[in-house]
């Protein structure tokens, strides 16, 4: 085989390898539902986190605040997360000052949540969850028909298929039968 033929064969093989890598890289993104196809900053260290890592799980997304009458719900949310995590539930917290009840830095919020309520479920950097300034995840939820949060600790249950199952007001405690029944039903469903 001539050197030119070897080079062509090598480049062709490299091209196929690169094309294969691109297809492989695109495959996980295609499996990520549009609801979760967003990247937000993690609360503790402000490192970008793709919500696609939760694709195939049941997600309970909650807008939170540290100085609210409903702040005690952190404890129940963490209990839900611990109880159903092995079955595929993930609770996601989104601190927000939209209702003037979240005043600290991201580090202060993270420290407060962990030291006061033992929060271990994933939380994201403080952001808006309402209106034009809402983070892209909440903008997407609302564009898909979910009600905009009327107060802190609104809850959004998202099925394994990435579709909104139900939303719950702040008045719905994490251990309420309506919420836990919907979580259990969603955990049994397969996309």
Name the token pair of 104.
């600290």
Angle at alpha carbon of residue 179, lines to 40 and 185, rounded to 5°: 95
184 phi-psi bin (left φ>0, alpha ψ -120 to 50, beta other): alpha
By the 10 Å C-beta count (0-12 exposed, 13-18 middle, 19+ buried), 23 is classed as exposed
Question: Which residues have C-beta within 8 Å of that of residue 82, sequence separation ≥ 6?
Answer: 120
Phi, psi of 29 (to 5 degrees): -65, -40
Both tokens of 43, joined, read: 């609360």
Active-site residue list: 68
């Amino acid at each position: 085989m001539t050197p030119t033929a070897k080079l062509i064969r090598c480049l062709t093989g490299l091209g196929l390898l690169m094309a294969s890598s691109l297809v492989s890289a695109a495959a996980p993104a295609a499996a990520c539902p549009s609801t979760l196809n967003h990247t937000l900053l993690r609360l503790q260290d402000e490192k970008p986190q793709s919500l696609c890592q939760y694709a195939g799980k049941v997600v309970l997304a909650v807008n939170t605040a540290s100085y609210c009458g409903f702040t005690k719900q952190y404890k129940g949310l963490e209990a839900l997360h611990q109880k159903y995590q092995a079955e595929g539930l993930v609770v996601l917290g989104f601190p927000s000052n939209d209702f003037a009840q979240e005043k600290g830095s991201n580090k202060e919020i993270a420290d407060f949540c962990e030291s006061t309520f033992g929060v271990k479920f994933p939380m994201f950097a403080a952001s808006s969850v309402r209106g034009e300034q809402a983070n892209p995840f909440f903008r997407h939820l609302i564009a898909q028909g979910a009600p905009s949060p009327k107060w802190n600790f609104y809850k959004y249950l998202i099925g394994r298929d990435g579709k909104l199952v139900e939303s719950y007001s702040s008045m719905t405690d994490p251990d309420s039968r309506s919420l836990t029944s919907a979580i259990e039903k969603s955990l049994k469903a397969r996309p």
